[in-house]
Amino acid sequence: MSSWSVKDAKNDFSKLIKATNEEPQVITSHGQKVAVVYRYDDRKHEVSFPKKNLEQFLEDTRKHFEESGISGMIKVGGE
């Protein structure tokens, strides 16, 4: 994949978009990869995240706090 700095991507946006015809384009900021631009028709790169219900989210958050040593702050399901 080709790499563009944020500044170069901003200054030559239409060239960046045209380059996606060949391959996805990586955007970097201070040498770190921060984004990927790819053609809409090539959505195989999309990442899907499972949806959680509120109770599962709160339970996962409670476990995270407990593992971090911060317990007793969040109770789920009337515990």
What is residue 45's predicted lDDT score, i.e. its pLDDT? Answer: 63
Instruction: Please list the rounded mean pLDDT of every run of 10 residues in the chain (79 residues).
Output: 93 96 93 91 72 81 76 53
The pLDDT assigned to 4 comes to: 96
Output the CA–CA distances (angstroms, integers) from residue 29 to 19, 34, 38, 50, 65, in the order listed. Answer: 19, 6, 18, 29, 32
CB 25 within 8 A of CB 16: yes
Q: Within this chain, do residues 64 and 38 fall inside the same structural domain, yes or no?
A: no
Residue 72: left (phi > 0), alpha (psi -120 to 50), or beta? left
Exposed, middle or buried: residue 59 (CB in 10 Å: 0-12, 13-18, 19+)?
A: middle
Please count the structural domains in the chain.
2
pTM score, whole prediction? 0.56
59 plus 75 within the same structural domain: yes
Residues 39 and 66 in one domain: no
Q: For position 16, what pLDDT does the model report? A: 96
Residues 8 and 35 grouped into a single domain: yes
User: Is 38 in the same domain as 54?
Assistant: no
Written as six digits, the tokens of 36 are 């990927």
Please tell me the predicted confidence (pLDDT) of residue 59.
Answer: 85
